[in-house]
Amino acid sequence: MAFGEFDLIDNYFTHRWPQRDDVVLGVGDDGAVLALPQGAELVVATDTMVSGVHFDEQTPARAIAHKVAAVNLSDLAAMGAEPAWLSLALTLPEADQDWLNGFSHGLKEICDYYGCQLIGGDTTKGPLTVTVTAHGFVPAGTALRRDGAKPGDWLFVSGCIGDAGLALAVQQQRTTISDAHYRRVLERLYFPSPRVALGQNLREIASSAIDISDGLVADLKHILKASNVGARVDVDELPLSLAMTESVAADAAIDYALSSGDDYELCFTVPESRRGVFDTVLAHHPAKPICIGRITNEANTLTLLRNDEPWFSQREREGYDHFS
Ligand SMILES: [Mg+2]
């Protein structure tokens, strides 16, 4: 059910936005018409964010827009896809001009940065809910998947993890940290950077990949299950930010890195035979992925080690099981 006052949304979401040559027909008709490159396969991802579930009232509209686009682009990155088009479904309680300004600004920024065009959408009155569908492409047969990891492959993460979870813990008053560090980790919670360029560079190098949305352990588990393998992770190798290491004790930092989500780094595996090519590609790449362990042949078994001794998270020490 679209309604009158939302006609103005057209103005917010089309004027001076990126235009791509492969959009034959964009916003304004019943459907978009899009031209796929020769020999490409289409990769499609959708994510919804609901007020009160995925973000709270204090979250700026600009951050909501950035994040809902970023989580979709992160899924495309995990598939090795080059992003191209976004569509938007927006449910709003009211047509608040300030909110719409902030939201459209945030969405335009990320579209500009990644060269994506908004190709359509829908607006409805109701409780605040934002859904984005991202479309991208890969050369046929080269998409990164979760099911290709093999025993002996090296396991990597693309950057520091745990920061968004630390920001959330501060927001929910479960811990306190300095204002300077809070600003840094809040930036990671509100404005995650999907590893779009790295994902494309990993095509034909990585044997499997996933983006870290729910926490390293939870998401790595998806690779282990799909590939029918296990993994050994050295928790001392987990990349941690300065904001993290200066704010919490060493064990707590490892717990954040293992268990909290929302950082949108990539977790991926590289076969020994591709390690040389991988190191060469990375030498010219701004991202600095860190090797955190290796894939094993013990199906669905994740072993956490510290100084070669088994390591258990706080939750496990309290009786929770990561695999329950
Ligand atoms: Mg994902």
pLDDT of residue 3: 43
* Binding-site sequence positions for ATP: 121-122, 146, 213
For the chain, what is the domain count? 2
Low-confidence ranges of the chain (pLDDT < 50): 1-4, 322-324
Within this chain, do residues 67 and 212 fall inside the same structural domain, yes or no?
A: no
pTM of the full structure: 0.93
* Binding-site sequence positions for substrate: 54, 262, 320
Amino acid identity of residue 35, one-letter, is A
Q: How far apart are the CA of 320 and the centre of ligand 1, in A?
A: 24
Is residue 145 one of the residues assigned to a domain? no
Q: How far apart are the CA of 179 and the centre of ligand 1, in A?
A: 31
Q: How far apart are the CA of 7 and the centre of ligand 1, in A?
A: 33
Q: How far apart are the CA of 212 and the centre of ligand 1, in A?
A: 7
Within this chain, do residues 195 and 100 fall inside the same structural domain, yes or no?
A: no
The CATH number linked to 230 is: 3.90.650.10
pLDDT of residue 314: 72
Q: How far apart are the CA of 255 and the centre of ligand 1, in A?
A: 21
* Binding-site sequence positions for Mg(2+): 30, 46-47, 75, 122, 211, 214
165 Cβ contact partners less than 8 Å away, ≥ 6 residues apart: 215, 256, 259, 260, 261, 262, 263
In terms of residue numbers, what domain contains 113? 4-139
pLDDT of residue 303: 95
pLDDT of residue 319: 59
The CATH number linked to 129 is: 3.30.1330.10
What is the dihedral angle through the alpha carbons of 112, 117, 122, 123, rounded to the nearest 10 degrees? 20
How far apart CA 159 and CA 241 sit, in angstroms, is 9
Q: How far apart are the CA of 98 and the centre of ligand 1, in A?
A: 31
Within this chain, do residues 132 and 186 fall inside the same structural domain, yes or no?
A: no
**Among 91, 113, 139, which residue terminates a domain?**
139
DSSP one-letter code for 81: P
Q: How far apart are the CA of 51 and the centre of ligand 1, in A?
A: 20
**Among 80, 108, 139, which residue terminates a domain?**
139
Is residue 310 one of the residues assigned to a domain? yes
Other CB atoms within 10 Å distance of the CB of residue 247: 23
Q: How far apart are the CA of 109 and the centre of ligand 1, in A?
A: 22
Q: Considering Cα of 81, then 85, then 90, then 95, what sign does the dihedral take?
A: positive
How far apart CA 75 and CA 47 sit, in angstroms, is 9
pLDDT of residue 323: 46
Is residue 323 one of the residues assigned to a domain? no
- Give pLDDT tens digits for 110-169: 999 999 999 988 888 999 999 999 999 999 999 999 999 999 999 999 999 999 999 999
Is residue 252 one of the residues assigned to a domain? yes
Q: How far apart are the CA of 87 and the centre of ligand 1, in A?
A: 18
pLDDT of residue 315: 67
pLDDT of residue 285: 82
Is residue 278 one of the residues assigned to a domain? yes
Is residue 109 one of the residues assigned to a domain? yes
pLDDT of residue 17: 82
Within this chain, do residues 188 and 118 fall inside the same structural domain, yes or no?
A: no
Q: How far apart are the CA of 218 and the centre of ligand 1, in A?
A: 11
